[in-house]
Structure 1
Amino acid sequence: MDNAQRTPTPQDLDTLSRQLGRPVRDVVEIGARCVCGNPLVATTAPRLGSGIPFPTTFYLTHPVITAAVSRLEAAGVMTEMTERLSRDSGLAEAYRRAHEAYLQARNEVGARAGIGEVPEIAGVSAGGMPGRVKCLHVLVGHSLAAGPGVNPLGDEALERIAEWWTPDRCYCEGVWDVQGQAPSRDLSRHTRTQGLGEAELAAKRAARQGGHEADPAREEDSK
């Protein structure tokens, strides 16, 4: 997409909030659009306005695609893909390159947004890259934003959801509420961490993980 297509309009932000069921924040670009023009992927700043690092640059927002990818996850596709990475050196190398492409894209997004590098998540991409698969939504969002040939497992997941969603037609009608006001209250867990110091954030992450060491990539599911 060109710069004009990437630039989010007020209508885009309204649509994203309706798609997600909560107000969006820190969206700097639209990563991919439906054939009708509605957003499919939100490109998010690598550091949120609250100061929290956010590694998930390309966030899948369209409810139809999100539900289709969730079906794959429920069917055990992530485990299958991770096992293949350990056996297929060619696939593993392509996935490693996807990881590097994600990091480069995030740096470029940060630069365009005037944020710059975020050292807390340096070297950490998203979705489990480069060694495993832990969130297909991230990989699909990356594939839609980057185009085919960049993320092999994201591309594969897109092929595997063709029964429910394909890029050549619109699936937007009736999928989200278009009447009344867009959601104005954010009930996601990020709102409960705004304004906390690093020690407090680390303690909250540890509590969520049952006492295990905090992993900044776990923030990817809390957009």
Structure 2
Amino acid sequence: MTTPPFAPVTDADLAVLSEQLGRPVRGVVGVAARCVCGNPTVVATSPRLPDGSPFPTFYYLTHPAATAAMSVLEADHVMRELSDELASDEEVAAQYARAHEAYLRDRAGFGDVEEIAGISAGGMPTRVKCLHALAGHALAAGPGVNPIGDRALAMSTWSPERCACAQPGGAG
């Protein structure tokens, strides 16, 4: 089983991540996506946290502006629109199912955890449940892997193409 390549996590990354989340980070195995300024945007998290808890959200969106943008979309009920698209478009549904499988493969490279076997994130493969998780996966995997995550990013006011960091090391 191969694992996705991640940027090494530095002490500076861990400090920024803790500031972004407002708490100490747990189980970080890599930085899966970065802001154009270099700050972490998405982390890859171990499927079993150091305290032994299972953690299905392998790709975790940490960037405050990105998480805020996904929260706005959720508050605007965009998930319903994306759910309708998923239900009515067989091609999107097939891509979404493939995204789920890719997510599981990526996470499996860091250990199999029985309690979360077959569970990815964000409602995949059949529902749209959490845009934060789906956007995190889309950013980590790149365009064209997670169609719902890609759509959420395209609909949001946040862009990975410009820095909106108010974190140490950021341009914002």
State whether structure 2 residue 102 is matched by structure 1 residue 101.
yes
Q: Displacement of 1:36 after TM fit?
A: 1.0
* Match in the other structure for 1:170: 163
User: What's the RMSD between the two structures over aligned residues?
Assistant: 1.3
Query: Counterparts of 1:20 and 1:30 in 2: how far apart (Å)?
Result: 14
Q: Displacement of 1:130 after TM fit?
A: 0.5
* Match in the other structure for 1:142: 137
Q: Kindly, what percent of the aligned residue pairs are identical?
A: 59
State whether structure 2 residue 127 is matched by structure 1 residue 132.
yes
* Match in the other structure for 1:87: 88
Structure 2 unaligned regions, length at least 5: none
TM-score (norm 1): 0.71
Shift >2 Å, 4+ stretches: none
Query: Counterparts of 2:130 and 2:158 in 1: how far apart (Å)?
Result: 18
Query: Counterparts of 1:69 and 1:16 in 2: how far apart (Å)?
Result: 18
State whether structure 2 residue 16 is matched by structure 1 residue 15.
yes
Q: Secondary structure at the match of 1:6?
A: coil
Query: Counterparts of 2:79 and 2:158 in 1: how far apart (Å)?
Result: 19
Q: Displacement of 1:16 after TM fit?
A: 0.2
* Match in the other structure for 1:42: 43
Q: Displacement of 1:87 after TM fit?
A: 1.3
Aligned residue type for 1:151: N
Query: Counterparts of 2:82 and 2:162 in 1: how far apart (Å)?
Result: 27
Range with greater deviation from structure 2 (130-139 or 84-93): 84-93
Q: Displacement of 1:167 after TM fit?
A: 1.8
Higher radius of gyration, 1 or 2: 1
